Chains A and B, each alone.
Chain A
Amino acid sequence: MHDKTLTELKAGLLAGDFSARELAEHFLARIEARDGALNSFITVTAEQALQQADAADRAIAAGEQRLLTGLPIAHKDIFCTEGVRTSCGSRMLDNFVAPYTATVVEKMAAEGAVMLGKTNMDEFAMGSSNETSYYGPVKNPWDTSRVPGGSSGGAAASLAARLAAGSTGTDTGGSIRQPAALNNLTGLKPTYGRVSRWGMIAFASSLDQAGPLGLSAADCALMLQAMAGHDSKDSTCLDQPVDDYLAALDQNIDGLRIGVPEEFFPENLDGAIAESSHEAMRELEKQGARLVKISLPSVTLSVPAYYVIAPAEASSNLSRYDGVRFGYRCENPRDLEDLYKRSRSEGFGEEVKRRILVGTYALSAGYYDAYYKRAQKVRRLIRDEFVQAFKKVDVIMGPTTPETAFPLGAKADDPINMYMADVFTIAVNLAGLPALSMPSGFINGLPTGTQVIGNYFQEGRILNVAHRYQQATDWHKRIPGAFQ
């Protein structure tokens, strides 16, 4: 059962080939047996999963199958789930049992999804290798000596290893797309404001966006259909009708204009990576798409701009973890200042502390204009260039990452090199655009991905492009040998 896509499982449930309970039990058993090698789950919610599965079976029997009824899904441990530990990959929240449920989780549950558990992640979503987690690194199922990418590393690894049939992730600078690329998955970051952030623990509020990771574009469409929509609890969640993503999948792409920015194919880019994306675009050309050379000059500034804005927001967002009301509290604090200092230095890991320091610095009196304000200017430039480009093209494509999965520990002590792992994905967050990564081949046995960027609220369009590509290719169907 685990080799099937969500779309296939949904049909199987309806046809009675298996029950939701059988499905949940099968995946729970796989997690039990296989996750030791990956460390992709922080918490497994077996009991709750079986209850939800039974409810799904009753719904199916009553002819009340909804979008995700009975489908076993894993949530990134950044989404609050009432009564279940929600750690955000941090010691700070190791003891935090959320008193409420995130809108994304609630909406998917309302559509009948079965939650298998909470997946591992970089601490507070800060990282590109899932090595900053308090719960230890996640391994890449394609090669367990390598990283799965991050920060949604557990979401990607568990899905690639078929320990879940679908996953949620969050993407602040590439945290859905980069691990999707490194694990041979389709992962979509929606338009900023398409999906509610209520209950999703904040890293950088103006960039964070939740989205699905799936075995195919069609699976992502199915999950996004359930996740997207206005939420009055999130002021930045836009009141815009949700398109029918499933209906958009099969649209003809004849005449589709694909923008190819020169900045996404720099001279020093790994030739095999570049070729994989070129090959993907050639396939789409065969189906009638047209390639248009474009330039997005400011995109080259996205990494420095991002590493000012994201830490600045994070430094403020993470101030609430002070040991007073919830989360980690140091033992026997001498006084208030000691409580703050030790709770925070003991509760946060190195990378989180580094970003809090960087962000605090960038917002400080005397530095604000030079860093935060200037970064915001760059952000506007990037957005404006994308807006101009989308007057000429329908989608923009290029590689998702500059390299395939790297060995565990290879960049752990080299933050700048680590930050460059997101060089192609970050600009999209700064602009607030939707983008997905789809599997586009293998290099030395490791998967690589191609990114498809759409105009605002054009999730249907990019899913359509990825789906058409997946109709003609089978990269996305490959399963890591050890997890067949």
Chain B
Amino acid sequence: MSAWETVIGLEVHVQLATASKIFSSSSTHTGDEANRHASLIDLGMPGTLPVLNREALRNAIRFGLAINADINRRSVFERKNYFYPDLPKGYQTTQLAEPIVGTGVVEIQLEDGRKKTVRIHHAHLEEDAGKSIHDAFSGDLGQGQTGIDLNRAGTPLIEIVSEPDMSNAEEAVAYARKLHAIVTSLGICDGDMSQGNMRFDVNVSVRRPGEPLGTRTETKNLNSFRFMEKAIGLEVERQIDVLEDGGKIVQETRLYNGDTHTARSMRSKEDANDYRYFPCPDLLPVVVSEEDIEELRASLPELPDARKARYMETYQLSDYDADLLSGSPATARYFETATEQGGDAKLAANWIMGELAAKLNSEELGIENAPVTATQLGQLIQRLKDGTISSKIAKQVFDACWAGEGDPDAIIEAKGLKQMSDSGELEKIVDQVIADSPAQVEDYRNSDEAKRKKKLGYFVGQVMKATQGKANPQQVNELLHKKL
């Protein structure tokens, strides 16, 4: 039997970073006491009406322009009707038949160097729902009660719907990262996934090559790249197991639990609501002029693809490195500052993708919260380049800087880590090492050229030990060669 082929499509919800909600003037600020930002409109009070936040519209158009999509000159808000306590009006105002952003494309870069184009079916504007709070209440409300917090209700979202163009979790993650890079570069979303500001619904199906598309399932509300990757893996495995056991895939919505790495069915297609979409009569069709679009196009900031090309050309970075560094605006800013300060793009790139990334990862920090600032890393690189410190010492300085012990220069000074470059002093130490190791000297001298190279390491080590690593390794090598 031939292998299975996976087909993946994504629906990505991006929370727009506008100051006020999409249809009311309430603040979108999060973290405040429940219902502080629930106005008459957000509460769905009788007689209230929505007015479209033009900035949310502009942000959706900016996104469309960034992915070279058609911007629909006329788009229509519709009502998606269903009952839920966190949905005050009994319908969600969204777009369906006539969305603001039409078809577009997103190019992704894979680790093995391949590129792939993911087609965007459309992107539409909509309002978020509120939150049900099931935790126990104190005060008048007893346990077992459910509370409603409408602070988030009416927060503007764009939902970006892809074609089923991805064929594994890596591609799906690369696509999601790319969207993240685009919306954060545009500044239309803060990209904070821990706050749910970007959420992924993953449609997955499997089939034998050449066969028509299989039945798909939708795993909803994944809020990290890692969970998405794992959820896809789990679902693909499950579907293959079911099919290979002769079973059938049921079209359903599933929920993934990242803590237990398990998923469960939430509802099948049969239980799905009939949403009774129809154009919202309280909002006029949104008409966008050519001038509006051109004005927005002219004011677009540098986008990840352009930045990547610039990195490859200006800094001679590899395709893959340039892709990683250009992705998020925070990483790009960090890289550019460190490069400017340190005067060496390649070193900066290596440090950022190596030491820095590892530490950020292990401490689960974003680059914008890195304890070592880009300026500090730049200074470290400068010291590396001018020979003040060796790369080994540089790691030590980096760690100290990470621990908050000050700028690299201060650390080098305080700890006396400056490379020993005074050849007179170094020569004395080298002589001492040679004098203390007659057997090793004998052995070295009796070895051929190839073996000597290895054996030299012992002497280098001894010198480093004696200088606490501060000796300039190149100088040590040269001196040892001469003396031995």
The answer on A and B forming one complex is yes
Within 8 A of A (CB), among B40-93: 40, 43-52, 79, 81, 83, 85, 88-91
Bound together, the chains give a CA A364 to CA B43 distance in angstroms of 26
Contact with B along A389-402 (1 / 0, CB 8 A): 00000000000000
Contact of B281 among A99, A313, A324 (CB under 8 A): A313
Q: Is the CB of B51 within 8 A of A320?
A: no
Q: Is the CB of B88 within 8 A of A320?
A: yes
Bound together, the chains give a CA A88 to CA B46 distance in angstroms of 10
Contact of A320 among B90, B274, B282 (CB under 8 A): B90
> Does B242 lie at the interface of the complex (its beta carbon under 8 Å from any beta carbon of A)?
no
Contact of B51 among A79, A232, A315 (CB under 8 A): A232
Known interface pairs A235-B52, A312-B278; A320-B46 also in contact (CB < 8 Å) = yes
Contact with A along B267-294 (1 / 0, CB 8 A): 0000000101110011110000000000
Bound together, the chains give a CA A201 to CA B40 distance in angstroms of 13
> Does A102 lie at the interface of the complex (its beta carbon under 8 Å from any beta carbon of B)?
yes
Q: Is the CB of A80 within 8 A of B47?
A: yes
Residue of A with least CB distance to B50: A235
Residue of B with least CB distance to A100: B40
Within 8 A of B (CB), among A54-80: 79-80
Contact of B47 among A198, A324, A365 (CB under 8 A): A198
Most A Cβ at <10 Å: residue of B49, B81, B88, B283: B49
Question: Which interface class (under 10, 10 to 19, 20 to 34, 35 or more) fits B?
Answer: 20 to 34
Bound together, the chains give a CA A315 to CA B40 distance in angstroms of 21
Q: Chain B: interface secondary structure?
A: loop
> Does A322 lie at the interface of the complex (its beta carbon under 8 Å from any beta carbon of B)?
yes
> Does B148 lie at the interface of the complex (its beta carbon under 8 Å from any beta carbon of A)?
yes
Looking at the assembled complex, report how far the CB atom of B193 sits from the nearest CB atom of chain A, in whole angstroms.
Answer: 30
Contact of B276 among A79, A201, A327, A363 (CB under 8 A): A363
Bound together, the chains give a CA A133 to CA B178 distance in angstroms of 57
What residues of A have a CB within 8 angstroms of the CB of B274 in the complex? 364-365
What residues of B have a CB within 8 angstroms of the CB of A200 in the complex? 47
Q: Is the CB of A319 within 8 A of B89?
A: yes
Bound together, the chains give a CA A326 to CA B148 distance in angstroms of 13
Residue of A with least CB distance to B80: A316
Within 8 A of B (CB), among A81-103: 86, 88, 93, 96, 98-100, 102
What residues of A have a CB within 8 angstroms of the CB of B284 in the complex? 235-236
Question: Which interface class (under 10, 10 to 19, 20 to 34, 35 or more) fits A?
Answer: 35 or more
Bound together, the chains give a CA A316 to CA B77 distance in angstroms of 14
Contact of A202 among B40, B43, B47, B91 (CB under 8 A): B47
Q: Is the CB of B282 within 8 A of A322?
A: no
Bound together, the chains give a CA A312 to CA B274 distance in angstroms of 14
> Does A41 lie at the interface of the complex (its beta carbon under 8 Å from any beta carbon of B)?
no
Bound together, the chains give a CA A111 to CA B364 distance in angstroms of 62
> Does A4 lie at the interface of the complex (its beta carbon under 8 Å from any beta carbon of B)?
no
Q: Is the CB of B52 within 8 A of A372?
A: no
Looking at the assembled complex, report how far the CB atom of A381 sits from the nearest CB atom of chain B, in whole angstroms.
Answer: 18
> Does A368 lie at the interface of the complex (its beta carbon under 8 Å from any beta carbon of B)?
yes
Known interface pairs A232-B51, A235-B51; A80-B91 also in contact (CB < 8 Å) = no
Bound together, the chains give a CA A444 to CA B274 distance in angstroms of 52
Bound together, the chains give a CA A93 to CA B40 distance in angstroms of 16
What residues of A have a CB within 8 angstroms of the CB of B283 in the complex? 235-236
Known interface pairs A235-B284, A316-B278; A322-B83 also in contact (CB < 8 Å) = yes
Contact of A336 among B47, B85, B278 (CB under 8 A): B85
Q: Is the CB of A363 within 8 A of B81?
A: yes
Bound together, the chains give a CA A313 to CA B81 distance in angstroms of 11
Looking at the assembled complex, report how far the CB atom of A4 sits from the nearest CB atom of chain B, in whole angstroms.
Answer: 32
Known interface pairs A316-B90, A320-B90; A96-B46 also in contact (CB < 8 Å) = yes
Q: Is the CB of B281 within 8 A of A325?
A: no
Looking at the assembled complex, report how far the CB atom of B90 sits from the nearest CB atom of chain A, in whole angstroms.
Answer: 2
Bound together, the chains give a CA A200 to CA B281 distance in angstroms of 14
What residues of B have a CB within 8 angstroms of the CB of A372 in the complex? 278
> Does A406 lie at the interface of the complex (its beta carbon under 8 Å from any beta carbon of B)?
no
Q: Is the CB of A316 within 8 A of B282?
A: no
What residues of B have a CB within 8 angstroms of the CB of A336 in the complex? 85
Residue of A with least CB distance to B52: A235
Known interface pairs A235-B283, A319-B83; A326-B45 also in contact (CB < 8 Å) = yes
What residues of B have a CB within 8 angstroms of the CB of A99 in the complex? 40, 45
Residue of B with least CB distance to A90: B46
What residues of A have a CB within 8 angstroms of the CB of B50 in the complex? 235
Residue of B with least CB distance to A78: B47
Bound together, the chains give a CA A320 to CA B51 distance in angstroms of 18
Within 8 A of B (CB), among A270-324: 312-313, 315-316, 318-322, 324
Looking at the assembled complex, report how far the CB atom of A429 sits from the nearest CB atom of chain B, in whole angstroms.
Answer: 12
What residues of A have a CB within 8 angstroms of the CB of B49 in the complex? 197-198, 233-236
Known interface pairs A235-B49, A316-B90; A325-B282 also in contact (CB < 8 Å) = no
Bound together, the chains give a CA A312 to CA B89 distance in angstroms of 15
What residues of A have a CB within 8 angstroms of the CB of B276 in the complex? 315-316, 360, 363-365, 368
What residues of A have a CB within 8 angstroms of the CB of B45 in the complex? 80, 98-100, 326
Within 8 A of B (CB), among A187-246: 197-202, 204-206, 232-236
Bound together, the chains give a CA A220 to CA B83 distance in angstroms of 41
Looking at the assembled complex, report how far the CB atom of A357 sits from the nearest CB atom of chain B, in whole angstroms.
Answer: 12
Bound together, the chains give a CA A319 to CA B90 distance in angstroms of 5
Contact of A86 among B40, B46, B81 (CB under 8 A): B46
Bound together, the chains give a CA A116 to CA B262 distance in angstroms of 64
What residues of B have a CB within 8 angstroms of the CB of A202 in the complex? 46-47, 282
What residues of A have a CB within 8 angstroms of the CB of B51 in the complex? 232-235
Q: Is the CB of A340 within 8 A of B46?
A: no
Residue of B with least CB distance to A237: B49
Contact with B along A370-394 (1 / 0, CB 8 A): 0010000000000000000000000
Q: Is the CB of B90 within 8 A of A205?
A: no
Residue of B with least CB distance to A207: B281
What residues of A have a CB within 8 angstroms of the CB of B83 in the complex? 319, 322, 340
Bound together, the chains give a CA A80 to CA B88 distance in angstroms of 18
Q: Is the CB of A205 within 8 A of B281?
A: yes
Bound together, the chains give a CA A80 to CA B52 distance in angstroms of 22
What residues of B have a CB within 8 angstroms of the CB of A86 in the complex? 46-47
Q: Is the CB of A320 within 8 A of B47?
A: no
Most A Cβ at <10 Å: residue of B46, B47, B278: B46
Residue of B with least CB distance to A205: B281
Q: Is the CB of B85 within 8 A of A316?
A: no
Looking at the assembled complex, report how far the CB atom of A355 sits from the nearest CB atom of chain B, in whole angstroms.
Answer: 14
What residues of B have a CB within 8 angstroms of the CB of A79 in the complex? 47
Bound together, the chains give a CA A86 to CA B283 distance in angstroms of 24
What residues of A have a CB within 8 angstroms of the CB of B277 in the complex? 363
Looking at the assembled complex, report how far the CB atom of A239 sits from the nearest CB atom of chain B, in whole angstroms.
Answer: 12
Bound together, the chains give a CA A471 to CA B283 distance in angstroms of 41
Within 8 A of B (CB), among A324-359: 324-327, 336, 340
What residues of B have a CB within 8 angstroms of the CB of A234 in the complex? 49, 51
Q: Is the CB of A201 within 8 A of B46?
A: yes
What residues of A have a CB within 8 angstroms of the CB of B85 in the complex? 322, 324, 336
What residues of B have a CB within 8 angstroms of the CB of A235 in the complex? 49-52, 282-284
Q: Is the CB of B40 within 8 A of A320?
A: no
Contact of A324 among B46, B81, B148 (CB under 8 A): B148
Bound together, the chains give a CA A327 to CA B274 distance in angstroms of 26
Residue of A with least CB distance to B274: A365
Most B Cβ at <10 Å: residue of A99, A233, A316, A364: A316
Within 8 A of B (CB), among A150-192: none
28 interchain pairs (CB within 8 A)?
A86-B47, A98-B47, A99-B40, A102-B47, A198-B49, A199-B47, A200-B47, A201-B47, A202-B47, A232-B51, A233-B51, A234-B49, A235-B50, A235-B284, A236-B281, A313-B278, A318-B90, A319-B83, A319-B91, A320-B89, A322-B83, A322-B90, A325-B44, A326-B46, A363-B81, A363-B276, A364-B274, A364-B276
18 other A-B residue contacts (CB within 8 Å) besides A197-B49, A202-B282, A316-B90: A79-B47, A80-B47, A86-B46, A88-B46, A102-B47, A198-B49, A199-B47, A235-B283, A236-B49, A236-B282, A316-B81, A316-B276, A316-B278, A318-B90, A322-B85, A324-B88, A363-B276, A368-B278
Top 6 A-B residue pairs of the complex, sorted by shortest distance between their CB atoms: A319-B90, A206-B281, A363-B276, A205-B281, A320-B44, A199-B47
